[in-house]
């Protein structure tokens, strides 16, 4: 190792200090980091201060009431994540050499994916009980941020990131359907055109979500648009808003498995459902751990046998016919 590298290593402080700082960087809060780490706030602040003094530059600043990493803090956080990734991979490789099924698997999914991932994750955990799983759920922008920072092993998207070098694997179809309350004045109509619904209020996900991107691309290609919309950042909240007749929804068919029971129907609108696809994703230069490699292979090999595919495919066929649940 070069002398320069040794000097830099001596400035990085202890691994514990780096671990604490990474938690602060992730949560952007001393208070929340102290809660998750089961430490006092003064203790967390002190360890971050020591690391900052060792580096010789401030690692964060507080603007208003928000904690924001400095440029030095962002560099240290990026390097720290790589350090712990190497350590984690080393531990898992050693376990692999010992013949142990152990290690940590970190998965990050956009909110809609949480409706089907547990069907596959549960059998995987039964097969490898020594594996610790971190299951992170967030909106698309949050999961995109995690992917860009290489914070997890495997990600699930239906609309692929365009500005990142990634590998992706086809997984499941993801039809996007127009839905309404069963009491809506259009609920009994058949063979609707977009012009029949364009003046309705829509309840939609926030801009940048996978569903929004898919819908916007489709509407743009058809030279039409949504004129009145209520934005809600939750699929479940959209379901309840549609049930309450606050407007029409455009949402993934996976959320509608109990549509009839929930008082929701799928409208037969020309051009819908829009056909998108779920894909498994990781960064191209990501060195997958043995656990992550096993999980990826498990998903691609066994997922369709473990998921309720008959029900899912029936829902897709019904959605394409415009007769949800038939």
pLDDT at 166: 92
Instruction: Give the list of residues 6+ apart from residue 156 with CB closer than 8 angstroms, or none.
Output: 107, 108, 109, 110, 113, 117, 171, 278, 279, 280, 281
pLDDT at 311: 64
Averaged pLDDT, 91-115: 75
The arrangement of secondary structure in 3-78, i.e. its CATH architecture, is Orthogonal Bundle (1.10)
pLDDT at 2: 40
Q: Could you state, in order of their start, the residue ranges of all structural domains in the chain?
A: 3-78, 80-171+278-313, 174-276
Residue 322 has pLDDT above 80, yes or no: no
One fold for 80-171+278-313 and 174-276: yes
Question: pLDDT per residue over 171-215, tens digit each?
Answer: 887 788 888 998 999 988 888 888 999 899 998 887 777 778 888
pLDDT at 324: 44
Averaged pLDDT, 49-72: 89
Classified as helix, coil or strand, 203 is: strand
Give the β-pairing of 103-110 and 264-266.
unpaired
The arrangement of secondary structure in 174-276, i.e. its CATH architecture, is 3-Layer(aba) Sandwich (3.40)
Closest CA to 179 of 199, 195, 200, 158: 200
Averaged pLDDT, 17-40: 91
Residue 106 has pLDDT above 90, yes or no: yes
Going by pLDDT thresholds of 50, 70 and 90, the confidence category of residue 21 is: very high
Domain 80-171+278-313 classified CATH 3.40.50.2300?
no
Share of the chain above pLDDT 70, in %: 85
Residue 167 has pLDDT above 90, yes or no: yes
Between these two residues, 217 and 8, which has the higher pLDDT value? 217
Averaged pLDDT, 7-20: 68
Closest CA to 58 of 42, 75, 43: 75
Residue 6 has pLDDT above 50, yes or no: no
Residue 110 has pLDDT above 60, yes or no: yes
Residue 99 has pLDDT above 80, yes or no: no
Long-range Cβ contact pairs of 316-321 (< 8 A, separation 24 or more): 316/173, 316/175, 316/253, 316/273, 318/266, 319/175, 319/177, 319/253, 319/266, 319/272, 319/273, 320/175, 320/273, 321/268
User: How far apart (Å, rounded) are the C-alpha atoms in residues 191 and 269?
Assistant: 6
User: How far apart (Å, rounded) are the C-alpha atoms in residues 18 and 80?
Assistant: 6
3-state DSSP helix/strand/coil % of the chain, to nearest 5 = 50, 20, 30
pLDDT at 233: 76
């Amino acid at each position: 190792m070069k002398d320069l590298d040794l000097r830099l290593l001596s400035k990085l402080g202890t691994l514990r200090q780096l671990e604490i700082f990474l938690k602060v960087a992730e949560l952007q809060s001393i208070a929340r980091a102290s809660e998750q780490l089961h430490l006092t706030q003064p203790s967390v602040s002190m360890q971050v201060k020591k690391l900052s003094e060792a580096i010789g530059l401030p690692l964060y600043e507080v603007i208003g009431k928000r904690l924001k990493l400095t440029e030095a803090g962002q560099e240290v956080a990026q390097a720290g994540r790589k350090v712990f990734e190497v350590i984690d991979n080393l531990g898992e490789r050693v376990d692999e050499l010992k013949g142990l099924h152990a290690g940590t698997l970190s998965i990050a999914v956009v909110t809609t994916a949480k409706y089907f991932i547990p069907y596959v994750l549960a059998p995987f955990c039964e097969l490898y009980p020594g594996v610790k799983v971190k299951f992170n759920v967030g909106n698309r922008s949050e999961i995109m941020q995690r992917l860009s920072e290489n914070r997890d092993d495997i990600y699930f998207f239906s609309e692929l990131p365009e500005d990142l070098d990634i590998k992706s694997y086809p997984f499941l179809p993801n039809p996007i359907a127009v839905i309404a309350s069963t009491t809506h004045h259009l609920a009994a109509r058949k063979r609707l055109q977009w012009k029949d619904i364009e003046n309705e209020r829509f309840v939609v996900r926030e801009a940048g979500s996978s569903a929004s991107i898919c819908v916007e691309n489709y509407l743009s290609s058809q030279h039409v648009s949504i004129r009145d919309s209520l934005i809600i950042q939750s699929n479940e909240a959209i379901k309840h808003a549609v049930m309450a007749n606050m407007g029409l929804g455009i949402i993934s068919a996976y959320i509608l498995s109990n549509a009839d029971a929930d008082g929701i129907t799928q409208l037969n609108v020309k051009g819908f459902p829009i056909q998108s696809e779920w894909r498994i994703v990781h960064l191209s230069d990501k060195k997958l751990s043995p656990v992550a490699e096993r999980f990826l292979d498990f998903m691609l090999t066994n997922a369709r046998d473990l998921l309720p595919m008959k029900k899912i495919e029936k829902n897709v066929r019904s959605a394409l016919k415009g007769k949800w649940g038939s």
